[in-house]
Structure 1
Amino acid sequence: MNPQTLERLEYARIKTELSTYAVSYLGKRHIAALQPITDARTLRRRLDETDEASGVLRRGASIPLPSLTGMEQILDLLGSGYVFQEQDFTHLHQFLRSCAQLIDYMHGKADWAPNAAAYASGMHRLERLREEIERCIRSSRVLDSASRELSKVRRRMATVEERSSRRLAELMAKHRSILQENLAVQRGGRFAIPVRKEYRKLVKGSVLDESSSGQTLYIEPEEIRQFHDEMELLRAEEGREETKILSELTGTAEQFAQELRVNAELVGEYDFLFAKARYALALNAVNMKLNEHGLIRLRGARHPLMGSGMIPLNFELGERFRMLIITGPNTGGKTLALKTIGLLTLMGQSGLLIPAEEGGELSVFDGIEADIGDGQSIEQALSTFSAHIRRIKGILETAGRRTLVLIDEMASGTDPGEGVGLSIAVLEELHRRGTCVVVTTHFTEIKTFASATPGCENARMEFDAETLQPLYRLTIGEAGRSYAFAIAKKLGIPDAVTRRAEELTRRSQVKPEQPDAAAAFFHPSGAPGTGDTEVGAALPAPKEDSCASSDAAAIPANPDTAESSSALFQVREDRPADDPALLPGASLRRAEPQPPAPDTNGSPGENKAESGEEDGSGSQTDFFRIGDSASVPYLGKTGIVYSEEDAMGTIGLQIQGQKIRIARKRLQPHIPRESLYPEDYDLSIVLDSKENRKKRRKMERRHMEGVTIVLPPDDPDKKR
């Protein structure tokens, strides 16, 4: 699986929550290594055994899961030459006893939990090793019965200790009158009696310590020292014998090293299995049917990280359609629905039960690709659009029939016109490959694509228009609205602004066969443009449903305020100059320019000859004025005239932000400037840089020393 997909769908958080239900280091290690499975047979077994383990827990059974305390060190040191100590064998004995109990327990569940019980059938009882430990070790101490030699040494030690205690009691009774108190003490592991300082010479022995006041001396009697030295020799002999026993016991354990590792591994598997089962109970999760042909059918599905507050999701994909376009308002739950589908699929392919209603079905995918989030990166200098494109590139490199693709906010991050076109092209390619696709979007054109494409379906996230509250319910078969204006009003946008936005949106949706109304939309005064004699067949520029911004909103009604709206007519950062959506009216109609007004002193025929219009042909004029939109057929582009015809017969045209000169005969009129701009519109906004316009305004007010306006020369390589 794509690691970035796992990150975007928060797969790691699922593993973190699952890990809290494991109790052993091996169980947690299995969870840390958990990855989605692509083999359907293996996955079927994993889901069934998890379901069986959940059934065991639902019956209230207490699982005798062996403790792995201390076992990690034991398994690591087996065969290394290390001699295990008494505490190590205590841990090992407890582990072996618990393994035997688990084997018996799961054997009794084999009839109704065969998959879960199968692990126990591979475990080893290791009775010989367990009995040997019981014979030699108890309560972290080597037993006397471990060997005959050890038993003899300890009997001698007991005898010496008894004689020493008896003689010490006799000495204390003998010197009772000179003792500070009638109590023997230990100093450095040796027995001493507290003698008053002035009677020091009456007791034969070694001074081991004195009191803080210096009035009491702690003296080890010489006879007691002899007992102590004899006891030290016996303890050394005892230690040698214990080491011999522990070495022999370690050798026995090493004979079963492989069996011990198998048992520990299977205990880790059981810990992992029952951790999944406990997590399933916490989520109220269920088992799922599986298929390998892209069918997903879920009822009452819930995102596992959202808690009980999430509205359950009903979803289907892969039967009647393999591509679903989800629309609806912002904050309406589109992205959550997308993440829910992706994460539940990942969980199912990881052998985890799914928080949904019974009877659901999941498909086993070879890959899951997700484009969710803007992916901006300062370090990598990625814009939102660049990040999307990188992800789409990766999707197209791997997507096939057994791939699930999830894309959030299709066509976002760039010019709507180009973004929609690119998005539909990508969807067409994925549809051709038979890929299972779920997409969220606001754009009408993508909804239309879904409606017109077999095997593709629309869906919407429901929204309560009365309360302006999202309902978080997915309805398949219907396209949704964005409710941008209603949400904007609710969030405090002034009514005047939202009313104007609604008006502009209505005008932007005027059909092509209504040229007068369309012209009124693009003309800032609201009046239809003049000279529009033909309506083009081009579709309107792509727009976002109910919340798409209109370029017409940027046209200033007052030319004095046109500076702030220059972005409409200049080449945008991410939009070519010949984009029909950039030129108001261009996408709705292709109009003939008005012929020049007749000369009152000349004849109509003379006027025709001067303008270059063919007599009686009714063809378009080839007279171009600054501000007109002209078409370059052989380039398939349009641009704005910035310089009229020169002596060489070339006309200056601004295309995609560049100024080039093209022979007049290669141009065709496109849209007259009257239909593009107000009568008194400052064309320098379109044809000049913002910096030069500011300088020109300053120079118009007064002489500015050192201020120079530099006009870039025409590119000689671009002359046509």
Structure 2
Amino acid sequence: MNEQTFTVLGYDKIKEEIAGFALTESGRIKAREMQPSINMQQITSWQEEVSEAIEILRISSSVPIHGLEGMEMVLKGFNKGIPLRTEQLMQLLSFLETCNKIRRFMKDKEYVAPRVSAYVFAIEELPELAAEIQRCIRNGQIDDYATRELLKVRKQIGIQEDRLKEKLNQLLKSAKIKPFLQEAVISQRNGRYVVPVKKEYRGKLRGAVLDTSASGSTLFVEPEEIGSFQDQMEWLYLEEQAEVEKVLFALTGLAEGKEKEIRMAMETMVHYDYLFSKAKYCRSIDGKRVEIHPEPIILFNDARHPLLGEKAVPLTIEIGKDYHALVITGPNTGGKTVSIKTAGLLSLMAQSGLLLPVEDGSESGIFHKVLVDIGDGQSIEQNLSTFSSRIVNIIEILKETNDKTLVLLDELGSGTDPGEGMGLATAILENLNNKGATIFATTHYSEIKDFADNHEDFMNGSMEFDIETLKPTYRLRIGKGGESQAFAIALKLGIHPKLIERAHNITYKSENDYTALFANDPAELKAREQQIIANKHKRKKSSTVAKQPVKRFEMGDSVHVLSSGELGVIFKGPDSQGNYLVQVRDRKIDVNYKRLKLNLPASELYPEDYDFSIIFESKEHRKLLNQMSKKHIEERVIRDDT
């Protein structure tokens, strides 16, 4: 498998969608690293696990998977000689609690998911560690009762703090210093209590100046009388911090002793996250389990392209049993490319152990390589033409192909002289078939259809086209080559049958009576005549009716004028060329809609029945309008204020 195949077929997008269901960053990484396997036992094991996970999701609304927030940093902090911080220990506790939840959860699901639930036994219970963290930490802080020494020192801090505050309150009420204070309040600077003293009274109060106000008019002074109290407080705080560090070291040591178990639990949690992400994705596409075969075969019943959502038209795709190469023909934009992309993408998904958007009875073989040539693949660096770049790609495909290879070729031989392109395409298909490859190819060459008809390893297929509506149905029919439908469309739209017969003769070197189609079907003849009349009417109407401009903005909409980067307000428009008159500051300018980008619609900016003349007309103009609405004013004329 190669990255080009993954990108072209959309396998990378599937991985990204699975990653979107993951709760952990590691789970998202695993999803993005997902690869198809060629080991049948591995694939079926993955399928069983995803199926069991879907069954768990069916009976349970949620699975207790931890997001692993902060856990990588917890592991990195082990064995560094530095204790984990309180918040890290709380993250570890949260993880341990979730581990206990998922153990209980999975044990209850053994009867529906024996394989998936068995992984939980890799998560060991660590009750002693969890209990000790819970005992020592309350509300994000080391609890007073974590150790006797910590309780003792915090009690001393409380007593000393009460004494200190009492002393400060006495000082504030004292007539000795009260006149010198800016206000009678106590505050702290650098953890020490201070009082606000007016600058001019600095010499009246003995103590240390710890800070000054922004204006410089207030000094924050630690009175001499409380200095000794505060020194004692600092010593007590240091003792408290030392005791807290002892507790953190002890808890860290307990956690480090269980590092192996914690790492294993994290790996298991990531595996569960990745597994249930796959299960949620498969459930979102209504995936079903397909039977895996060691041989390179494909049978996808009513397969839907998983990236097209509700727009996907079901296709039944079969190859590998009676034939090994399917050549798909049909009109352009008829779904040929989507059909071979569907086959390739679903094969990759099947070998990744995913459930597929198919119906029951579907089967998928194992391909060691999936090689594609879809799209122009143009290489700017090598300055190659579209045809040349595709040939370079096909050369690599020819080198790598063997009997375990799935090859997808879109419009093989296009981009060059039709005769030579057809011959080259046929030779390439022969070579790939001789190597034993399983081949899906789309083409517009009728000669390749003939080649496929006459080769036992090949089968023709076509994309259906509805002649009545002149639209493709996007449905694949295997066993019959398709036409481009150019003749049928031209005949339907009114080209004379004789001209179509001549075109058929030039193209296929054979005769075909297109007039007989109408002779045998009067209703078809009448429908054709009505179509000719409709075409004439359409031409006449298009030539006489002026094209109406499409309205993209409304009066009052706030818009960006892209050429100048300014904001403006829509005044009126559009005209027949799509130009709007835009108020920008004090001027009105004409701007084409292509050079305007909506900022905010008028409906969000103004109330209903808002008078837009306030924005677009000058004060003098509005005043004149108001006056002339009441009486005639000689020699005054109302004009647009533009």
Q: How does 1:498-513 map to 2 (within 5 A)?
A: 503-510=502-509
Per-residue Cα deviation, 1:419-477 (whole angstroms, up to 9, x for no partner): 33333233233333432211111112211122122232111100011211010001111
Give the equivalent residue in structure 1 for 2:535.
none
The 1-side partners of 2:498 and 2:185 are apart by 101
Quick one: structure 1 residues 199 and 395, their matched pair in 2 at CA, closer, same or farther if it must change by over 3 Å?
closer
Q: How does 1:24-39 map to 2 (within 5 A)?
A: 24-39=24-39
Quick one: structure 1 residues 214 and 465, their matched pair in 2 at CA, closer, same or farther if it must change by over 3 Å?
closer
Quick one: structure 1 residues 144 and 340, their matched pair in 2 at CA, closer, same or farther if it must change by over 3 Å?
same
Segments of 5+ residues of structure 1 without an aligned counterpart are 518-720
SS in 1 for 2:64: coil
Quick one: structure 1 residues 448 and 158, their matched pair in 2 at CA, closer, same or farther if it must change by over 3 Å?
same
Contact 2:23–2:65 under 8 Å retained in 1: no
Quick one: structure 1 residues 478 and 235, their matched pair in 2 at CA, closer, same or farther if it must change by over 3 Å?
same
Q: CA deviation at 1:291?
A: 1.0
- Picking from 312, 332, 335, the partner of 1:333 is 335
SS in 2 for 1:53: helix
Give the equivalent residue in structure 2 for 1:190.
192
Q: CA deviation at 1:333?
A: 0.2
Q: CA deviation at 1:202?
A: 5.8
The 1-side partners of 2:107 and 2:98 are apart by 14
Segments of 5+ residues of structure 2 without an aligned counterpart are 513-642
Give the equivalent residue in structure 1 for 2:98.
98
Quick one: structure 1 residues 215 and 73, their matched pair in 2 at CA, closer, same or farther if it must change by over 3 Å?
closer
The 2-side partners of 1:473 and 1:417 are apart by 29
Contact 1:67–1:98 under 8 Å retained in 2: no
Do residues 70 (structure 1) and 70 (structure 2) align? yes
Q: CA deviation at 1:359?
A: 3.1
SS in 1 for 2:359: coil
The 2-side partners of 1:274 and 1:251 are apart by 34
The 1-side partners of 2:138 and 2:344 are apart by 54
Q: How does 1:104-119 map to 2 (within 5 A)?
A: 104-119=104-119
Q: How does 1:457-476 map to 2 (within 5 A)?
A: 457-476=459-478
The 2-side partners of 1:102 and 1:435 are apart by 46
Q: CA deviation at 1:382?
A: 2.4
SS in 1 for 2:300: strand
Amino acid corresponding to residue 145 of structure 1 in structure 2: Y
Contact 1:288–1:361 under 8 Å retained in 2: yes
With structure 1 as the length reference, what TM-score do the two structures score? 0.66
Amino acid corresponding to residue 167 of structure 1 in structure 2: K
SS in 1 for 2:301: strand
Give the equivalent residue in structure 2 for 1:343.
345
Contact 1:375–1:382 under 8 Å retained in 2: no
Give the equivalent residue in structure 2 for 1:268.
270
Contact 1:26–1:265 under 8 Å retained in 2: no
Give the equivalent residue in structure 2 for 1:635.
none
The 2-side partners of 1:427 and 1:211 are apart by 87
The 1-side partners of 2:197 and 2:391 are apart by 93
Quick one: structure 1 residues 237 and 478, their matched pair in 2 at CA, closer, same or farther if it must change by over 3 Å?
same
Give the equivalent residue in structure 2 for 1:132.
132
Q: How does 1:360-379 map to 2 (within 5 A)?
A: 360-379=362-381
Contact 1:89–1:140 under 8 Å retained in 2: no
Do residues 421 (structure 1) and 420 (structure 2) align? no
- Picking from 236, 247, 250, the partner of 1:248 is 250
Q: CA deviation at 1:196?
A: 5.4
SS in 2 for 1:370: strand
Per-residue Cα deviation, 1:163-201 (whole angstroms, up to 9, x for no partner): 112222222233485354443222333222345567666
Q: CA deviation at 1:507?
A: 2.6
Contact 2:23–2:66 under 8 Å retained in 1: no
Do residues 450 (structure 1) and 449 (structure 2) align? no
The 2-side partners of 1:32 and 1:57 are apart by 22
Give the equivalent residue in structure 1 for 2:89.
89
Quick one: structure 1 residues 212 and 75, their matched pair in 2 at CA, closer, same or farther if it must change by over 3 Å?
closer
Quick one: structure 1 residues 446 and 145, their matched pair in 2 at CA, closer, same or farther if it must change by over 3 Å?
same
SS in 2 for 1:315: strand
Give the equivalent residue in structure 1 for 2:434.
432
Identity of aligned residues (%): 43
The 1-side partners of 2:278 and 2:349 are apart by 11
The 1-side partners of 2:223 and 2:421 are apart by 100
Contact 1:300–1:313 under 8 Å retained in 2: yes
Quick one: structure 1 residues 473 and 169, their matched pair in 2 at CA, closer, same or farther if it must change by over 3 Å?
same
Contact 2:465–2:473 under 8 Å retained in 1: yes
The 2-side partners of 1:98 and 1:328 are apart by 56
Quick one: structure 1 residues 501 and 235, their matched pair in 2 at CA, closer, same or farther if it must change by over 3 Å?
farther
Contact 1:210–1:217 under 8 Å retained in 2: yes
The 1-side partners of 2:128 and 2:216 are apart by 60
Q: How does 1:300-319 map to 2 (within 5 A)?
A: 300-319=302-321
Per-residue Cα deviation, 1:263-293 (whole angstroms, up to 9, x for no partner): 1111111111111122122222222221111
Quick one: structure 1 residues 229 and 383, their matched pair in 2 at CA, closer, same or farther if it must change by over 3 Å?
same
The 2-side partners of 1:383 and 1:210 are apart by 76
SS in 2 for 1:111: coil
Amino acid corresponding to residue 469 of structure 2 in structure 1: T
Quick one: structure 1 residues 216 and 79, their matched pair in 2 at CA, closer, same or farther if it must change by over 3 Å?
closer
Give the equivalent residue in structure 2 for 1:287.
289
Contact 1:66–1:102 under 8 Å retained in 2: no
Amino acid corresponding to residue 171 of structure 2 in structure 1: L
Quick one: structure 1 residues 188 and 319, their matched pair in 2 at CA, closer, same or farther if it must change by over 3 Å?
same
Contact 2:412–2:425 under 8 Å retained in 1: yes
Give the equivalent residue in structure 1 for 2:5.
5
Quick one: structure 1 residues 212 and 130, their matched pair in 2 at CA, closer, same or farther if it must change by over 3 Å?
closer
Per-residue Cα deviation, 1:504-545 (whole angstroms, up to 9, x for no partner): 45234325xx9xx9xxxxxxxxxxxxxxxxxxxxxxxxxxxx
With structure 2 as the length reference, what TM-score do the two structures score? 0.74
SS in 1 for 2:411: coil
SS in 1 for 2:352: coil
The 2-side partners of 1:481 and 1:34 are apart by 40
Quick one: structure 1 residues 235 and 461, their matched pair in 2 at CA, closer, same or farther if it must change by over 3 Å?
same
The 2-side partners of 1:163 and 1:502 are apart by 113
Give the equivalent residue in structure 1 for 2:591.
none
The 2-side partners of 1:224 and 1:436 are apart by 91
The 2-side partners of 1:356 and 1:138 are apart by 54
Amino acid corresponding to residue 506 of structure 2 in structure 1: R
Amino acid corresponding to residue 509 of structure 1 in structure 2: Y
C-alpha RMSD of the superposition:
2.7
- Picking from 321, 324, 333, the partner of 2:323 is 321
Per-residue Cα deviation, 1:24-44 (whole angstroms, up to 9, x for no partner): 111011012111111111111
- Picking from 251, 257, 260, the partner of 1:258 is 260
Give the equivalent residue in structure 2 for 1:573.
none
SS in 1 for 2:149: helix
Amino acid corresponding to residue 88 of structure 2 in structure 1: D
The 2-side partners of 1:177 and 1:149 are apart by 40
The 1-side partners of 2:126 and 2:259 are apart by 11
Per-residue Cα deviation, 1:596-643 (whole angstroms, up to 9, x for no partner): xxxxxxxxxxxxxxxxxxxxxxxxxxxxxxxxxxxxxxxxxxxxxxxx
Amino acid corresponding to residue 260 of structure 1 in structure 2: I
Quick one: structure 1 residues 157 and 413, their matched pair in 2 at CA, closer, same or farther if it must change by over 3 Å?
same
Quick one: structure 1 residues 242 and 324, their matched pair in 2 at CA, closer, same or farther if it must change by over 3 Å?
same
The 2-side partners of 1:222 and 1:488 are apart by 106
Contact 2:287–2:356 under 8 Å retained in 1: yes
Give the equivalent residue in structure 2 for 1:479.
481
Q: CA deviation at 1:97?
A: 0.9
Q: CA deviation at 1:373?
A: 1.1
Contact 2:172–2:184 under 8 Å retained in 1: yes
Quick one: structure 1 residues 199 and 409, their matched pair in 2 at CA, closer, same or farther if it must change by over 3 Å?
closer
Q: CA deviation at 1:216?
A: 5.3
Amino acid corresponding to residue 503 of structure 1 in structure 2: R
The 1-side partners of 2:470 and 2:84 are apart by 71
Give the equivalent residue in structure 2 for 1:588.
none
Amino acid corresponding to residue 326 of structure 1 in structure 2: I
SS in 2 for 1:321: coil
SS in 1 for 2:194: strand
SS in 2 for 1:119: helix
Give the equivalent residue in structure 1 for 2:48.
48
